[in-house]
Amino acid sequence: MKKFLIVGLGNIGEKYHNTRHNIGFKIADAFVKEHGGSFETEKLGDIAKLKIKGKPVIVLKPNTYMNLSGKAVKYWMQKENIQVENVLVITDDLNIDFGKIRIKGKGSSGGHNGLKDIQDTFNTGAYPRFRFGVGAEYRKGKQVDYVLGEWNADEESAMIERIPFSVNAVTSFITAGLANTMNEFNGK
């Protein structure tokens, strides 16, 4: 039976908890909660093990920091014998308007250091990824401050709808497949 690995990217530590860069953790947390699971700290990250419509799902929040995510993803793929096409990496994206999502089966890192490390570790950009738009409302040279900054009040308010929408997209990846999920959720 196919196993799935859902990876939420973020940085560990309380000071990063509610930052734009940690949207991967936020969506992973909501996904696990929605499906009645819980996380336990294991090797290279926090892990939740779920079954969704009979399919085994491992949810990973790496504790390696964003820029070294590839090591944790590779370890859990190998440990659980999960094929790359059944991995979904969830991350923030500055090039997408706030709250919009883009799911693709392959692509570049787009300048995202977490995706770059995974791509370098896999030696390919051919793995599914889920990008959550955080917008680009920052002045030149302030990109790092922006992604490591906390959500503003309007963004927080919109999350009430955007997080469940994102959880539905992740669930669809597992139950309906990549192509159907892209058709239903991309750009919305």
17 as an active site residue: the answer is no
User: What is the 8-class DSSP label of residue 180?
Assistant: H
How far apart are the C-alpha atoms of 133 and 157, rounded to whole Å? 15
How many other CB atoms are found less than 10 A from the CB of residue 157?
A: 11
Distance of CA 54 to the CA centre of its chain: 22
Which are the contacts of 156, defined by CB distance < 8 A and separation ≥ 6? none
The three-point CA angle 87-104-139 to 5° equals 110
Half-sphere exposure of 47 (CA within 13 A, CB side): 18
Beta pairing, strands 45-52 & 87-93: unpaired
Does the annotation flag 113 for ligand binding?
A: yes
Token pair 């929408």 in the structure block, residue: 165
- The active-site residue out of 17, 21, 35, 112 is 21
Does the annotation flag 138 for ligand binding?
A: no
Half-sphere exposure of 151 (CA within 13 A, CB side): 20
Smallest Cα–Cα separation from 66: which of 110, 148, 147, 10? 10
Q: Binding site for tRNA: residue ranges?
A: 16, 65, 67, 113
What positions carry a catalytic annotation? 21
